[in-house]
Each structure stands twice: as C-alpha cells, then as structure tokens.
Amino acid sequence: MTAVQRSSGDLIADRRFLYGEGLLADGDAVVAAELFEQALEIAPDWPDGHAGLARARAAASDTDGAASAWRRVLALEPADVLGARLHLGLLGAAEVPAVPPPAYVAALFDQYAPDFEAALVDRLGYAAPPALAALVAETGRTFADAVDLGCGTGLMGAAVRTSVGRLDGIDLSAAMLEQAAAKGLYDDLTVGDVGTVLAARPGRYELALAADVLCYLGDLAPVLGAVARSLAPGGLFAFTIETLAEDAGEDWLLRPSLRYAHRPSGVVEAARRAGFDRLRSVAVALRLDGGTPVEGAALLMKRRAG
C-alpha cells in the first residue's frame, strides 16, 4: 500500500483514506465518501481527509456536500495548499479565483518534481519548449539577458540556451528549481511568483519565456504588465496558452484539470494594453491529457518602445 502524501498522524485514519482513494479511483464514490468520513472520525482536523471527502462527494454529484467539505479544508488551512478555492469555484460555490493560491501551485509542483520530465516528455508528448524555441529562432536574434518564467526543471532553458547570454529562472516550486539547478543551465534561479520577482527587475531582459505557465494564471493582465515592465523596449515575450474557443463568451476559464484556458483574442488584447505587439502565433498540441491532445497556442510578442 502506498503512503498518504501528508499523514493524518494516525495509521488507521491513513489506511481508511487510502482505501477511500482506491474506491474513488474505481468509480465507487459513495462508499469512498464513507471511508473518508470514517478517517475523519479519527482525525477530524485533517485537511487531506476533508479534501478526499470533498472529491468523493463531488464525484457522487453531491455538490453542496462537496462545497461544505472544501470550505472546511480552507478553514483548516487558509494558505490553501490543496486548492480548495479552485474546487469551490469549479463547483459554482464561490467565485473562480483570478489566480490560484501560490501555496497550491508550489505544493503541486514540489510533488510532481521527481517524475515531471519522465511523465511530461516521455509519456505525454510535451511540446511547449520546442514550439517556443522555434518561434524565438525564427527571429534570428540572440539575446544578452533572458528570463525563463515558471522554468520548472529547465526544459525551456535547455531549448534556448545557445541563443541567450545570461539566463535567469523563476519558479514557485523549490523542488522543480533543484532539478533546474542540477542541469547547470541557469545563471540565477529564484523561488517566487513571477509577477512579484519581476517587479524588482525593471527593463532587465531582452527575452522572456513562459512554457506552459500561463495556464496557472487566470486573469493575465497583471503578469503581462509585469513582463512588459521587465523587458527593454523591443524585448520579446514567447509563451504558450491553453486555448479557449473564440465564441466561449469569456476571456479565461478554469477547467476541471484545475488549469486555466484563455481565448487567444483576449490574450492579444490584454498584451496590447500591457504594451506588446503580436509578432506570431501558432497552434500547438501542448501535451496529452487523458489520451486527448490539449489544444494550445505559442505566441510571440514584442514590447513596444516607449
């Protein structure tokens, strides 16, 4: 039996939780919910136990019950490592957050880090870094100072390293950055939120990259503004988005995958307001999700002078 990610501190509660997870994976959501409830009788203040219960209730179409369990998770852990706010938004029980809780993103990728590259590159056909590297190469430019936003384990850095002089990386996940550091590709790696870190680096870069990162942000206006301010005039920003249909009726949407999708025309308009002109955009199948390609786009923007 595998171990729980974060133990309740009680072996029996942990076992009931794992049993519940197994039942939930097998589609028996109602019995799974009973197992999570039993675990919570032993460990009533265990956020992960309430999150399990919430997921089981949601799978059993008990929306109110799921929302009440997610609210309990949030009350127990306001930093929201488990992404309760996102789930409440998806359930229609609260407004969808414009950005996910940073603690949730950091914990998610700290957990993924050991298996990230094998899963994404070997099994899921991950295409974002080569797509962005091709857009950058087409310009024929080289860049003295570049920054890889949400650099993760360094796949994007590896794809552009020969076109850039100095390369910085920023990421919320310390475990992802440990792997990037081991590759020796980056001159500097900073743990933090991209918008916050960039705010202290005005006009620093000639190139900014964000491969499969903006899907972890809903409203892109703040990050586009932060990137524009961190670039010198004429600087480039290459990034991917998960695309939302143009007739979607809104510029961004949180999907059940807990990633955000964006309407390309909305992104181009938000980028224009932030001070960018679009140079190129190409459709890209970003990776497989449940065997289906995730439709996306790779965009190249140029910061206007002045």
Residue from 97, 150, 218, 235 in contact with ligand SAM (CB under 6 A): 150
Q: Which long-range contacts (CB under 8 A, 24 or more apart) does 254-258 make?
A: 254/86, 254/89, 254/90, 254/96, 254/97, 254/218, 256/90, 257/289, 258/83, 258/86, 258/87, 258/90, 258/100
The residues in 112-141 that bind ligand SAM, with binding defined as CB under 6 A, are 128-129
Buried/exposed 186-207: b ≥16 CB within 10 Å, e otherwise: beebbbebbbebbeebeebbbb
Least distance in angstroms from the C-beta of 148 to ligand SAM: 7
The residue assigned the tokens 């488990």 is 82
| Residue span 76-115 as binding mask against ligand SAM, x where in contact by CB under 6 A, dash where not | -----------------------------x---x------
Provide the pairing of β-strand 188-191 with 205-210.
unpaired
Least distance in angstroms from the C-beta of 261 to ligand SAM: 14
User: Does 156 interact with ligand SAM (rule: CB under 6 A)?
Assistant: yes
Residue from 32, 189, 213, 301 in contact with ligand SAM (CB under 6 A): 213
Least distance in angstroms from the C-beta of 65 to ligand SAM: 30
The secondary element (H helix, E strand) that includes residue 37 is helix 29-42
Provide the pairing of β-strand 252-254 with 143-149.
unpaired
User: Does 152 interact with ligand SAM (rule: CB under 6 A)?
Assistant: yes
Short-list 228, 256, 206, 280, CA closest to 58: 256
User: Does 194 interact with ligand SAM (rule: CB under 6 A)?
Assistant: yes
User: Does 176 interact with ligand SAM (rule: CB under 6 A)?
Assistant: yes
Least distance in angstroms from the C-beta of 105 to ligand SAM: 5
Q: What dihedral do alpha carbons 256, 258, 259, 264 form, nearest 10°?
A: 40
User: Does 220 interact with ligand SAM (rule: CB under 6 A)?
Assistant: no
Least distance in angstroms from the C-beta of 154 to ligand SAM: 7
The secondary element (H helix, E strand) that includes residue 167 is strand 164-171
Closer by beta carbon to ligand SAM, 123 or else 304: 123
Closer by beta carbon to ligand SAM, 29 or else 198: 198
User: Does 157 interact with ligand SAM (rule: CB under 6 A)?
Assistant: no
Least distance in angstroms from the C-beta of 60 to ligand SAM: 30
Q: Binding segment for ligand SAM among 29-37, 165-173, 226-234, 267-275 (CB under 6 A)?
A: 165-173
User: What is the total count of residues that contact ligand SAM (CB under 6 A)?
Assistant: 21
Buried/exposed 215-238: b ≥16 CB within 10 Å, e otherwise: bbbbbbbebbbbbbbbbeeebbbb
Residues that bind ligand SAM (CB under 6 A): 105, 109, 128-129, 150-153, 155-156, 170-173, 176, 193-194, 211-213, 216
